[in-house]
Amino acid sequence: MENLTDENPRDLFDRCMTNPILTPMDWPYNVNSVFNPGAVEIDGKTVLLCRVEDCRGFSHLTKATSEDGATNWVVDQEPTLSQLEEFNEEKWGLEDPRIVWLEPFDAYAITYVSFSPAGPQVSLALTEDFEEFDRRGVLLLPEDKDASLFPRKFNDRFVMIHRPIVRGEQHIWISFSPDLTHWGEHQILLTRRSGWWDDAKVGLGTQPMETDKGWLILYHGVRETASGSLYRVGLALLDHDDPTRLLKRCDSWVIGPREDYEYRGDVPGVVFPTGAIVDEERNELRIYYGAADSTIGMAKARLDEILDYVEGC
């Protein structure tokens, strides 16, 4: 790729030729939409935990697995994780999971939005196999969304990125906890930028990714337009040992709605990545995103190009 500058980033990601890779038609039961999946690799297979909206308007999470991360998805016959009566905060559904392998627990940690009548909150579930889940309940007050833990502790504390709404402002925050229950040392990590493509609000995209340059962060930024919100994706880099230190933030968005399926759906103009897989051997970063809140798309980038790009921002 020639002359890759911060003003010309649009070739960084290549969309999968078979996008959208998952649609409601692929579901074994009747659903309205499938989007915003968390992603992990297990035994060489790609596992997505997809947000599925039923025809009452409530969401649950369902697992889909593929050998190559693009085709021949095997979708669970029934919802994998759905509302439980005893968890009142999940009354209006479960949304937008992000997944990390949480080293201290030897388990996958799924942070998802539990939509309570008091507003959206961030909840945590742990699992070893995506069949049995240990629900740890709500982590912080509403309104809060777009959360992921880091896969390991820093100075013996768990760390989480999330997006509370404070004084009407929707910035990305970072918080710390000794035990995954009590959270504090809250601070703003990355703000919305007045007048920019990420003017209205920002929120974490995929789970944070550890690289030799630091923690690679994908986030969504929103601009309000006369015909609705535009959700696009930006890049940032956090310090390897101190994730409160924002080392880089690129000026331009790197992928945003362009294709028909990203404009045709329940919410047109939305590219919303929530899961990523880093394949160092192949020098590949794959992101999985909700397209127009209706289907799931995948896009690939070369890892070294992405890192060079973000370093040069």
CB of 36 to ligand BMA, least distance (A): 5
Let me know if 168 is exposed, middle or buried by CB neighbors in 10 A (0-12, 13-18, 19+). Answer: exposed
Q: Find the binding residues for ligand BMA in span 92-121 (CB under 6 A).
A: 95-96
Q: Does 293 bind ligand BMA (CB under 6 A)?
A: yes
Establish if 288 lies at the interface with ligand BMA (CB under 6 A).
no
Backbone φ/ψ region at 214: left (φ over 0), alpha (ψ -120 to 50), beta: left
Residue 192: which of 159, 219, 230, 225 has the closest Cα?
219
Side chain identity, residue 198? D
**Nearest to ligand BMA by Cβ — which residue?**
267
Q: Of residues 108, 115, 231, 289, which one binds ligand BMA by CB under 6 A? A: 231
The yes or no reply on residue 36 touching ligand BMA (CB under 6 A) is yes
Size of the site for ligand BMA (CB under 6 A): 9
Taking the complex as a whole, the smallest distance from the CB of residue 128 to ligand BMA amounts, in Å, to: 27
Distance in angstroms (rounded) separating the CA atoms of residues 203 and 184: 19
Shortest CB 100 distance to ligand BMA, Å: 19
Cis peptide before 20 (omega within 30 of 0): yes
CA triple 271-276-280, angle to 5 deg: 135
Q: Which of 37, 97, 275, 290 binds ligand BMA (CB under 6 A)?
A: 290
Retrieve residue 276's tokens.
């990523």
Q: How far is the CB of 92 from ligand BMA (least distance, A)?
A: 12
> Measured from the CB of residue 177, what is the shortest distance to ligand BMA in angstroms?
24
As a whole number of angstroms, the distance between CA 71 and CA 147 comes to 28
Q: Which residues in 257-276 contact ligand BMA (CB under 6 A)?
A: 267, 270, 272
Helices (DSSP H) in the chain: which residue ranges?
Answer: 260-263, 303-311
Closer to ligand BMA by Cβ: residue 150 or 231: 231
Amino acid at 123: S
Q: Does 165 bind ligand BMA (CB under 6 A)?
A: no
Mask for 47-86, x = binds ligand BMA (CB under 6 A): ----------------------------------------
Q: Could you give the CA distance from residue 256 to residue 263 in angstroms, rounded to a whole number?
A: 10
Q: Which residues sit at the interface with ligand BMA, rule CB under 6 A?
A: 36, 95-96, 231, 267, 270, 272, 290, 293
